[in-house]
């Protein structure tokens, strides 16, 4: 037995969402900022994820949000990258960009510092978009970077489960 971290065990919601996507014949795409690919890694930790995962974009820079995910420049200027509005635009944008049914997005301040923003460490916005319906979550976590990133991934998986629950 290894002491290596097991993402599928750390994020059991990944398997739950995967089963729901398979059963509904839906696909998912992810847009991540502060989690830097952890949501995509959690989803791909589940065997068979290639059936439903279209891909992802790590959109750390605002220019990536604008150029790849079609987030409106004025939306970013008005609300900032760490906002519910930008998370929602990222979710829609990644679904459209990658041709997925479900888009999941995460943007926030993971910590330990809040470089370049006045928003507090631990403020994270998660959004999902599925066929014109959306779901969102706002987290207010502490100063621990890894705990904040893990909480964001759990919240995004929960948003995905909420949106696919009625399909």
Q: Answer yes or no: are the C-beta atoms of 99 and 80 closer than 8 Å.
A: no
SS3 state at 27 = coil
- Give this prediction's pTM: 0.95
Q: Which pair of tokens denotes residue 61?
A: 């820079």
Q: How far apart are CA 83 and CA 21, in angstroms?
A: 27
Contact yes or no for 128/162 (Cβ under 8 A):
yes
List the domains of the chain with CATH numbers.
10-164 (3.90.950.20)
- Position 1 scores a pLDDT of 46
Residue 118: per-residue pLDDT: 82
Q: What is the pLDDT of residues 115-125, one digit of tens each?
A: 777 889 999 99
């Amino acid at each position: 037995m290894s002491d290596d971290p097991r993402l599928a065990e750390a994020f059991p919601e990944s398997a739950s969402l995967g089963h729901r996507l398979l059963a509904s014949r839906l696909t998912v795409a992810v847009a991540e900022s502060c989690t830097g690919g952890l949501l995509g890694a959690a989803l791909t930790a589940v065997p068979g994820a290639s059936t439903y995962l279209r891909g992802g974009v790590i959109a750390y820079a605002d220019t990536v949000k604008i150029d790849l995910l079609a987030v409106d420049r004025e939306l970013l200027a008005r609300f900032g990258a760490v906002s519910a509005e930008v998370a929602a635009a990222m979710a829609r944008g990644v679904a459209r960009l990658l041709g997925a049914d479900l888009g999941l997005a995460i943007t926030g301040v993971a910590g330990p510092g809040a470089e370049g923003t006045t928003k507090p460490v631990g403020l994270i916005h998660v959004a999902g978009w599925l066929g014109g319906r959306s779901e969102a979550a706002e987290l207010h976590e502490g100063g621990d970077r890894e705990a904040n990133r893990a909480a964001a991934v759990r919240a995004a998986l929960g948003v995905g489960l909420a949106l696919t629950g009625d399909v």
